[in-house]
Amino acid sequence: MTPTETRAAIEQLGLRPSRALGQNFLVDQNIARLIVGAAGLRDSDTVLEIGPGLGALTGLLLDRAGRVVAVEKDARLHEFLLGRFGKRRKLELVHADALDVDVAQWAPFKVVANLPYSISTPLLTRLVESPARPSLMVLTVQREVGDRLAAAPRTKDYGALTLYTRLYYDVRRAHRVSPSCFLPAPEVGSAVMTLRLAPHPLLEPELEAPFKQLVRTGFGQRRKMLRSILPKSELGDWVKPDALDAAMARLGLPMTARAEELSLAQWLQLTRILVVPSPPAARPSS
Ligand code: SAM
């Protein structure tokens, strides 16, 4: 939608765009086309759109995907979308909080969304953690979240969100988006990120939980050395000081290493070394 059409729709609805709901509507059609184009949609695809708003992306998604599920929390916007697109058979409009819906019901699916900034991190975490992980996500997020997703080790943005996401997804920044592309303009810039599901898991399923515990604990006190945090934490039962020292030496890490110094590959290796498989159950003697 153009800025004029968007203003008219906002006025027609008597809407005062809510900051809490991250209601910044996209008015730059080139960016809308770029976002939808990045999803490489086909007729066989189901797309989940979170926060369709006034439908800036929804119309383009309907032109390309076989099925579009659009989950909007604001009742007035949901009603507006029913009026604007209600007759399109491949569209399912859902009036709900995206944090409350079970996305697995639409699997397999892709996600394309200009995420409401207030929930971008919890929502992203839920999608990444879902057993029905989307095969591809094209997400517009505030620049700071984009920086965290794309961060390299030894930078301030590198952290648990970076590593949890990269455990499953290849992450790229496709485009930077200026605040002037939205109405009203947000205070910060945005980034379009593509997250493509890795073809093969990087870690054995039984090691995912320990990996996340290690990462979360390590970054919980990111300025401290791992050897002064991990063995003293609740992980102390299985992260013994000697075993951690030996693991760090095997990985060529200095004993002073802090969480942000380890690459994803090193976190994966550290998990594998520290989690000793339990011995097979004793066989009954014949
Ligand atoms: N997709 C539209 C666009 O590109 O112009 C709107 C994007 S706007 C950044 C975010 C949208 O998410 C708003 O329509 C807002 O009402 C909706 N929203 C906010 N919180 C939500 C939630 N928890 N669940 C579903 N939708 C939500």
Mean pLDDT of residues grouped by 10 in the chain (286 residues)? 93 94 97 98 98 98 98 97 92 97 97 95 94 96 98 97 97 97 96 97 94 97 96 93 96 97 98 79 56
| Cβ of 55 less than 6 Å from ligand 1 | no
Q: Check residue 89 and give its pLDDT.
A: 93
CA 201, CA 182: separation in Å to the nearest integer? Answer: 37
Closest of 263, 259, 269 to residue 228, by C-alpha: 259
Identify the residue whose C-alpha is closest to ligand 1 atom 12: 51
Domains of the chain: 3-197 (3.40.50.150), 205-274 (1.10.8.100)
Residue type, 126: R
| Cβ of 267 less than 6 Å from ligand 1 | no
Distances (CA, A) of 272 to 211, 216, 234, 268: 9, 16, 18, 6
| Cβ of 23 less than 6 Å from ligand 1 | yes
Ligand 1 atom at minimal distance to the Cα of residue 27: 5
| Cβ of 27 less than 6 Å from ligand 1 | no
Q: Are the beta carbons of 130 and 103 closer than 8 angstroms? A: yes
Closest of 224, 227, 219 to residue 247, by C-alpha: 227
Residue 204 falls in which region: left (phi positive, over 0), alpha (psi -120 to 50) or beta = beta
Tokens, residue 205: 């399923």
CA 147, CA 158: separation in Å to the nearest integer? Answer: 8
Q: Check residue 77 and give its pLDDT.
A: 97
CA 259, CA 274: separation in Å to the nearest integer? Answer: 15
Residue 102 CA to ligand 1 center (angstroms) comes to: 17
CA 168, CA 198: separation in Å to the nearest integer? Answer: 6
| Cβ of 190 less than 6 Å from ligand 1 | no
Q: Check residue 284 and give its pLDDT.
A: 59
Q: Check residue 131 and give its pLDDT.
A: 87
Ligand 1 atom at minimal distance to the Cα of residue 52: 1
| Cβ of 73 less than 6 Å from ligand 1 | yes
